[in-house]
Amino acid sequence: MDSRISDKLKILADAAKYDVSCSSSGGKRKNDNKGLGNSEGMGICHSYTEDGRCVSLLKILLTNYCIYDCAYCVTRKSNDVQRAAFTVQEVVDLTINFYRRNYIEGLFLSSGIFKNADYTMERLVRIAKKLRQEQKFNGYIHLKTIPGASEELIKEAGLYADRLSVNIELPSEQSLKQLAPEKNYTEILLPMDNIKQQLVQAKEESKLFKSAPVFAPAGQSTQLIVGASAENDHQILQLSSGLYKDYNLKRVYYSGYVPISSDSRLPIITGPPIIRENRIYQADWLMRFYGFSASEIVDEKQPNLDLEIDPKLAWALRNRYMFPVEINTADYELILRVPGIGVKSAKKIVSARRFAQLSFEHLRQMGVVLKRAKYFITCQAKSLHRHDFDSQVIRRKILFGDGAVRSSLLTQQLDLFRQVG
Amino acid sequence: MYLYTYDGTFEGLLTVVFEAYERKAWPVSIARAYLVQPDMFGESITVVTDDQKASRVWSGLQKKLSVEAQQALYYAFLWEQKGYEMLVFDYIKLVFDSPVSIEGNYAAPCVLQLQQVHKQVHREKHRMEAFVRFQKTSDGLYFATIAPDFNVLPIVINHFEKRYADQRWVIYDLHRKYGAYYDLASTLLIDLEETGSKALQAVLLGNVLDEEEDKYKQLWQVYFDHVNIPERKNPKLHQRHMPKRYWKYLSEKQPKIDLKSERLM
């Protein structure tokens, strides 16, 4: 009995792990009923995998039986892997017992599609309902919306789940046709739009009635696979920028394609494109927290992100006319655009300069990292270097100068590119 | 040169502030009474904790400080690293002496340090909320031990009360030898060694555990192994997020349980 559950867990955790989202933040569920758990505010990473990713949720598939044959997916019909399925009760027991021991923040439940979309979705909803109603569980629940599931089921899912997500996976219709022939964009975007409408409606209702039912209070997210198809970074960032604007997504996740499949429709790569994925995340952050638009980061002329340097530094080197920025007088928005200065440092600077004229020493004490920033700022009209360097020199100094630490991963992956290219 | 000693409580430290202002005698050091060595230089003043004096200082601070800064002061007290009492004192003195709010004045050394200490203690609190692992005992109690770098137990209780409102639990600090026990109604501070129980270990073993405890611990270990993507292995990042000194408390980092072999025995 025990070893059976353990075997299922092996198979169904293995199959779910390529879904990179593990966020458990943004929930609003309080433990008002003296039940189990809460999911207010910040999420907690209870552990970290050996690849350094946060483990916050019990992330599993209900089953990895699937009627679809998407080339990039381990669970695809034609793949020769062990199949398994949890019962509703098994998922409930695992979630509750893991949660009570403080292993997890909650459940992330997805599934292969068996029989049809509604049949699968109905089971996911039933698990969430059981957790909420029978177990008085107030922890975090993230449900995957099965493409093609009916509006009613999505609506019900939102009553019990904190977050809903529909994965787009492939960044263009063309790739989708090629790699996931049974899926289409309409089928994916329709539920996404549906969830958005429900979210808007629930928000309006809660303004009118305090007791209005909540709908997925942590919003919706999606995932794009990077490196399984030919899209460049410009196309990917344009798409996510649109998703943030048009569908009010909380997050777009990017999953560097792990070569798990020998399907002939896919490119042959030796390892997941970890550096590229990291640069795309940095660009995503620039769009969400730093006031950058997608077209400032990459455009048709330079459609791909520079792998060697971060996108903010790359932007600054292309736009030297904006610099140097005087730390004591510049607007917050401009200080945010200085390479190496993050949101926290920028806020600290703006706060501290009300009391005193700031010097480089002040910045250092505050913990502002000057390695990159020093080429782009002045303090009381003074600069840390005597010459004006051109962009190429700055780039070289930051990459190879004193104190430049390059992760072994970066060197390794870039060398790999050189060998191939 | 005035050396103040006090009883090691937060109220005691606030009383020191009160006395120092009353005497206009500014301390060069403040220390817990039992830790102090007799000093040939300077005058030593022993302060007796006085709740009224302490609360006068605190309400004075409440008028001039945001809730966040008040919290930062208390966190600095829980920090317990060398010189923490003087840090708290210097900050309070700056607050009272300055006509305008000093929050955000990171050019002043004690404001900057208090902010950094606040962050350190907050991070340790957050780590405890993440890394506590309860083991269920045969009488239905959920038990966990911790040994945090700073004295964060008082500030994590609220989190666990809210989260585990329907189960009895104990979190015990092995370093500082005290714990918190939640009995479904309220939380008490407890001292297990005085009650005569044998030496506590980081992990409970054997027959005091619930019969399903090993099963779920093993399932958690299985999950931890299988959620990993070996192609992306990154041990440096792994250790940065989960420093080795915490591993002894983490179920997923303990020797693998093999249920099958146990059944054979």
Q: How far is Cα A29 from Cα A335, in angstroms, rounded to an integer?
A: 36
For residue A163, give both structure tokens.
């977050």
Q: Do A366 and B259 touch (CB under 8 A)?
A: no
Contact A275, A311 (CB under 8 A): no
Identify the pLDDT of residue B200: 57
Contact A10 B226 (CB under 8 A): yes
B244 touching A (Cβ < 8 Å): no
pLDDT tops 60 at residue B199: no
Residue A217 carries which DSSP code?
T
Residue A208's pLDDT is 84
Q: pLDDT tens across B92-110, in order?
A: 999 999 998 999 888 889 9
Res B194 pLDDT > 60: no
Task: Locate all alpha helices (DSSP H) within B80-192, ordered by sequence.
Answer: 84-97, 109-131, 153-163
**8-state DSSP, B50:** -
pLDDT band at B204 (very low <50, low <70, confident <90, very high): low
List of residues 6+ apart from B165 with CB closer than 8 A: A31, A34, A35, A36, B184
Q: Mean pLDDT over all residues of chain B?
A: 88
* Confidence at B261, pLDDT banded by 50, 70, 90: very low
A45-59, A378-392, B177-191: which range is least confident on average?
A378-392
Q: Cα B203 to chain center, whole Å?
A: 20
Give the CA count within 13 Å in the CB-facing half-sphere of A277. Answer: 21
Range with lowest mean pLDDT among A158-172, A318-332, B28-42, B60-74: B28-42
With bands split at pLDDT 50, 70 and 90, how would you rate the model's confidence at A421? very low
pLDDT at B265: 35
- pLDDT higher at A135 or A184: A135
Q: Using a CB-CB distance cutoff of 8 angstroms, which residues of chain A are in contact with residue B136?
A: 100-101
Asked if A52 and B238 touch (Cβ cutoff 8 Å), the reply is yes
**Per-residue pLDDT, B259:** 54
pLDDT band at B50 (very low <50, low <70, confident <90, very high): very high
Candidate from B105, B133, B162 with C-beta closest to A102: B133
**Higher per-residue confidence, A94 vs A264:** A94
Residue partners of A319: CB distance under 8 A and separation at least 6: none
Number of C-beta neighbours around residue A246 at 10 A: 12
For residue A3, which residues of chain B lie inside 8 Å, CB to CB?
259-260
Neighbours of A345 (CB within 10 A): 19
Residues on chain A touching B216 (C-beta within 8 angstroms): 97-98, 101
pLDDT average, residue stretch A369-388: 87
pLDDT of residue B188: 93
Q: What residues in A contact B223, CB-CB < 8 Å?
A: 9, 13, 58, 98
Specify which residues B6 forms β-bridges with: B32
Q: d(Cα A350, Cα A399) in Å, to the nearest integer?
A: 29
* Domain chopping of chain B, boundaries: 2-124, 132-264
Please tell me whether residue B44 adopts helix, strand or coil conformation: strand
pLDDT of residue A397: 85
Assign B262 a pLDDT band (cuts: 50, 70, 90).
Answer: very low
Is pLDDT at B198 greater than 80 in this prediction?
A: no
Which residue from B minimizes the CA distance to A106?
Answer: B163
Mean pLDDT of A193-217: 86
**Residues forming a β-bridge with A97:** none
With a cut of 70, say whether residue B80 has pLDDT above it. Answer: yes
- Of A258, A162, A273, A270, whose CA–CA distance to A218 is shortest? A162
Look at A262 and B208; give whichever has higher pLDDT.
B208
Looking at the complex, report in whole angstroms how far the Cα of residue A328 sits from the nearest Cα belonging to chain B. 13
Whether pLDDT at A64 is above 70: yes
Average pLDDT across chain A, whole number: 88
At A51 the pLDDT is 85
- Please indicate whether, in this complex, the C-beta atoms of B107 and A52 are within 8 angstroms of each other: no
Separation between Cα atoms, residue B103 and residue A357, nearest integer Å:
16
**Pairwise CA distance, residues A192 & A121, whole Å:** 15
Report the alpha-carbon distance of residue B228 to residue A277 in Å, rounded. Answer: 17
Establish how many alpha carbons lie within 13 A of residue A65's alpha carbon, considering only the half-sphere containing its beta carbon: 9
Whether A207 has a pLDDT exceeding 50, the answer reads yes
Q: What is the mean pLDDT of residues A1-15?
A: 87
Percentage of the residues of chain A whose pLDDT score is greater than 70: 94
Contacts of B35 (CB under 8 A, 6+ apart): none
Highest averaged pLDDT of the listed ranges A405-419, B39-53, B209-223 = B209-223
Nearest CA of chain B to the CA of A245: how many Å?
32
The pLDDT of residue A420: 44
Could you say which of 3.20.20.70, 1.10.260.40, 3.40.50.1820, 3.30.300.30 is the CATH number of the domain covering A2-297? Answer: 3.20.20.70
The pLDDT of residue A411: 63
Q: Test A274 with B232 for CB contact under 8 angstroms.
A: yes
Q: Hey, of A51, A105, A275, A408, which one would you mutate to test binding to chain B, going by the most B CBs within 10 A of its CB?
A: A51
CB contact under 8 A, A34 and B166: yes
Q: Which of A37-41, A45-49, A354-358 has the lowest mean pLDDT?
A: A37-41
- Which residues, other chains included, contact B255 with Cβ-Cβ below 8 Å and sequence gap of 6+? none
Question: Residue B231 and residue A258: Cβ atoms within 8 Å?
Answer: yes
What's the distance, Cα to Cα, between the start and end of chain A in Å? 53
Distance CA A250, CA A306 (A): 26
Band the pLDDT of A383: cuts 50, 70, 90. confident
More confident position, A288 or A389 = A288
Given B112, B216, B241, which is nearest A366 (Cβ)? Answer: B112
- Give Rg (Cα) of chain A: 24
Higher pLDDT, A259 or B91: B91
- Residues in B closer than 8 angstroms to A258, CB to CB, are 229, 231-232
Contact yes or no for B17/B58 (Cβ under 8 A): no
Q: Residue A65 — φ and ψ, nearest 5°?
A: -70, 135
By the CB < 8 Å criterion, does B212 face chain A?
Answer: yes
Mean pLDDT of A75-89: 92
Task: Answer with the residue of higher pLDDT: A23 or B61.
Answer: B61
Residues in chain B: 265
Residue in this structure with the two tokens 């990017």, named with its chain if needed: A254
pLDDT grade for A358, boundaries at 50, 70 and 90:
very high
Is A219's pLDDT higher than 90? no
For chain B positions 151-170, those within 8 Å of chain A (CB to CB) are 162-167
Span A194-216, average pLDDT: 85
Distance CA A333, CA A171 (A): 31
Q: In terms of pLDDT, which residue wins out, B88 or A52? A: B88
φ, ψ of residue B258 to 5 degrees: the values are: -115, 105
Identify the pLDDT of residue A310. 92
Averaged over A1-5, what is the pLDDT?
73
pLDDT of residue A415: 57
pLDDT (average), residues A314-335: 93
pLDDT tens digits along A104-122:
999 999 999 988 999 999 9
Tally of helices (H runs) and strands (E runs) in chain B: 9, 8
Residue intervals of chain A classified under CATH 3.20.20.70 are 2-297
Average pLDDT over residues A249-267: 82
With CA atoms as reference, the chain B residue closest to A349 would be B106
Nearest by CB to residue B226, choosing from A14, A46, A103, is A14
Distance (Å, whole) CA B123 – CA B129: 10
Whether A17 sits inside 8 A of B215 (CB atoms) is no
Nearest one of A252, A302, A294, A243 to A277, comparing CA atoms: A252
Residues 70 to 109 of B: which have CB under 8 A from any A CB?
Answer: 102, 104-108
pLDDT of B22 > 70? The answer is: yes
Rounded mean pLDDT of B40-69?
Answer: 91
Q: Do A50 and B133 touch (CB under 8 A)?
A: no
- A118-174 pLDDT, tens digit per residue, is 999 999 999 999 999 999 999 999 999 988 889 999 999 999 999 999 888 888 888
Q: Which of B223, B242, B251 to mutate to test the interface with A (most CBs of A within 10 A)?
A: B223
**A77, A68 contact by CB (below 8 A):** yes
Partner-chain residue, chosen from B218, B228, B233, that has the shortest CB–CB distance to A6: B218
Contacts of B142 in chain A (CB under 8 A): 100-101
Average pLDDT, integer, range A41-64: 90
Residue A1 has pLDDT above 60, yes or no: no
Encoded tokens for B88: 């708290």
Vertex A125 angle, CA A123 and A127, to 5°: 75
Asked if A259 and B252 come within 8 Å (Cβ–Cβ), the reply is no
Q: What is the pLDDT of residue B264?
A: 37
Q: Does B246 reach chain A within 8 Å, measured CB to CB?
A: no
**Chain A residues touching B235 at Cβ < 8 A:** 50
* Closest to B18 (Cα-Cα) out of B52, B51, B53, B48: B53
Which residue did the predictor score with more confidence, A412 or B241? B241
